[in-house]
Amino acid sequence: MFNVKLALKYFLKKPISWLATLAVAISVFVVLVVMTVMHGLVVDYINKTHATVGDVIVYSDSLVGFPYYDRLLGEIDKQNFVEAASPVIKSFAMLSVAGGNRGLGVNLVGIEASSYNQVTEFKSSLYRKIDNDKIFTPYFDSKKSGCIRGILIMNSKNYQGKFTHNPLIFEKLILTCFPLSYKGTLLKAASGIVDSKSYYVANDSDTGLASVDSSTIYIPFTDAQMLCGMDSTIKRASAIYIKIKQGESLGECVDKISQLVQRMKEQNENDKFSMLLRNVRVEDWKTYKRESIAPMEKEQAMLTALFLLIALVTVFVIFVVFFMLVHHKLRDIGILRSVGISVFKINGLFLLFATMIAIAGTTIGALGGWFFLRYINNLEGWLFREFGWQLWNRTIYDIGEIPHDIQTEVLCVIIICSLVASLLGAFFPVFNVSRRDPVKLLSVDQ
């Protein structure tokens, strides 16, 4: 019992212990806020990326695509673990506005609206909500050919990150492609080498991914086949996006679909189009998008490592505090040792003291971090209104609210690290002194 009373006395009566508590609180506050915001941004980006491609992707990097996609699609649809599958055309095009003299290079994506909306969350990204069979229909004339723009093409945002345009737009766009034969040569080299078609803007897509929304035009699948030359000689597609039923193992599904693709390659190995099947691959969504996801995860890992250094600073602060405190209490330790108190109990006394500092500092830091995160968007709004300052300029960065939901696992890791750091900082100076001879501890020159 004396351990608790003495530890509490040290904690309440020693101003230096308040310094240690403050150091722990500041460390916990900073780590909690930064890790919550960073974790929220990374998870949001990964989820948005996942929403654009489904769970499993069968694809070819070749601009000429791969044949027999319709047969493969039929086999995939028969699998009991598949919820939906959709063919996709991916290519490049020149975009120009009718009557304008300026072109823009864009990513051209051809989709079958009904199946594509089942596999991805594309429909929820549309600025103007509409039925599947009408997403390419301009609002002013159902007989016109329509396309869907990435919302960052020709549109701007205000400081709140909201787009200022009217979704009921009348804009005529011209898409120009270089159609390729299945051999990769220009399909119309002997005549006009390009294919062009005019579209009216039917809608805008806001996926929340700046790299997608600033450079992508969506058109009907059959139109994309025609513009890219994938309807000549033999019909081709660039990819098949697949959604897996909930509860199914993604790894096992990738393996099963890979077997279907391999079987298709073997069945057509003597076909003149077999060379187009060699580059067909099957990957889960995270592997398929690794080039964009990996840098985000690497930044998060580097940030985590950086804040581990803050934990080391906390260890050092606690070490200094206990080094000073223990050397000011040499006589107390000597007296306790001389009346028969064991080294173990003395270590327990000061480690209990360190635990009190850790619990108090962690509690203050966590509550402060929770309160700050709860009102962080209000605070940023006030700073912008009063001083014109934003943490992220919404006209540049595709960010809505600053993430502020504290993740339970992140909070638990921070609390555990705080407790461990405090105990590590206290253990070495306490252990070093408590095992010394009581006679030397009580000597006059101490």
Closest-CA residue to 260 (of 117, 81, 52, 51): 81
Specify whether the backbone of 92 is left (phi greater than 0), alpha (psi in -120 to 50) or beta.
Answer: beta
What would the two tokens of residue 134 be? 């009408």
What are the pLDDT digits (tens) for 219-261?
A: 999 999 998 888 888 899 999 999 999 988 999 999 999 999 9
> pTM of the entire structure?
0.78
DSSP string, 361-378: HHHHHHHHHHHHHHTHHH
What are the pLDDT digits (tens) for 335-345?
A: 666 666 666 77
The per-residue pLDDT for 444 is 45
Length of the chain: 446
Query: In the chain, which stretches have pLDDT less than 50?
Result: 190, 444-446
Cβ-based neighbours of 181, under 8 Å, separated by 6 or more? 64, 187, 229, 232, 233
Any idea what the Cα angle at residue 431 is, between residues 430 and 435, rounded to 5°?
115
- Cα–Cα dist 252/259, whole Å: 11
Closest-CA residue to 311 (of 413, 428, 405): 413
Tally of CA atoms within 13 A in the half-sphere of 293 that contains its CB:
15
Cβ-based neighbours of 83, under 8 Å, separated by 6 or more? 118, 243, 244, 245
What are the pLDDT digits (tens) for 343-394?
A: 677 767 777 877 888 888 889 988 998 998 888 888 877 877 777 777 766 6
Closest-CA residue to 258 (of 284, 288, 289, 290): 284
